């Protein structure tokens, strides 16, 4: 049986004894029914994995004792998906979950000309990333930025390879799988429902982004984001 896996943001500063939050304590003691002497694993989402033993199984204030820890280096590639917010928040949350499971390092929500929804709950989005990180047994939590205006993001992105996935039929595009050079970091722009405007596409091209296709069919925003994530991580 796998050792239960939990997230503690400030694990790096924790000493030999580590108090668990009330939420984590309840999950460990009441949901999983774990007792003193049983082991759990903790990560800070920054590469640290701690194996610990339950020293006090209090249902609200459990305490564990550190047994040993391991540091995992950051991935050499830091692939980014910069993706428009969408009207249906649950679809964007689904993308966050799946992109995290696939190992994307950076997620940048974009506000484009055709972006309908601009409300963004940072705490909720981070909780989704944490849950997906734990579910997929990873120890590096993706960076998620506050929503950025599209043109501002173009001016600050410094990835080695920069791509834009759009649907305009009169602009030449090559498959991302053919253009991406493995081993280096990349950023892919994904537009809103309704796609990028021609002005946005031209601005991206002027900023050094290369137009790419993600397949033979037209994809929803969140599906396109996931397709790009899978391609970048698997190529």
pLDDT beyond 70 at 14? no
Residue percentage of the chain with pLDDT more than 90: 74
User: From residue 219, how far is each of 88, 158, 167, 173, 224 by CA, in Å?
Assistant: 15, 26, 9, 15, 5
Which domains, ranges and CATH numbers included, belong to the chain?
A: 5-71 (2.40.240.20), 80-234 (3.40.1280.10)
Residue percentage of the chain with pLDDT more than 70: 97
pLDDT (tens digit per residue) in 127-137: 999 999 999 99
pTM: 0.90
Q: Hey, how many other C-beta atoms are within 10 angstroms of the C-beta on 40?
A: 21
């Amino acid at each position: 049986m796998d050792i239960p896996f939990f997230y503690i943001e400030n694990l790096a500063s924790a000493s030999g004894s580590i108090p668990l939050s009330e939420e984590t304590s309840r999950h460990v003691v009441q949901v999983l029914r774990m007792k003193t002497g049983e082991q759990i694993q903790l990560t800070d989402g920054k590469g640290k994995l701690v194996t610990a033993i339950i020293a006090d199984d209090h249902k609200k204030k459990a305490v564990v004792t550190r047994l040993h820890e391991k540091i995992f280096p950051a991935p050499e590639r830091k692939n980014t998906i910069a993706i428009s917010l969408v009207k249906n928040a649950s679809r964007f949350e689904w993308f966050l979950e799946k992109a995290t499971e696939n190992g994307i390092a950076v997620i940048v929500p974009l506000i484009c000309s055709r972006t309908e929804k601009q409300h963004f709950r940072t705490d909720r989005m981070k909780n989704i990333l944490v849950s997906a990180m734990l579910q997929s047994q990873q120890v590096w939590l993706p960076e998620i930025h506050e929503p950025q205006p599209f043109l501002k993001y173009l001016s600050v992105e410094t990835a080695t390879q920069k791509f834009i996935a759009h649907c305009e039929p009169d602009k030449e595009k090559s498959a991302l799988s053919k253009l991406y050079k493995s081993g280096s970091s990349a950023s892919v722009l994904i537009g809103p429902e309704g796609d990028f405007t021609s002005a946005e596409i031209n601005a991206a091209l002027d900023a050094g982004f290369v137009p790419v296709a993600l397949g033979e069919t037209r994809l929803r925003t969140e599906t396109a984001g996931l397709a790009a994530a899978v391609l970048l991580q698997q190529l």
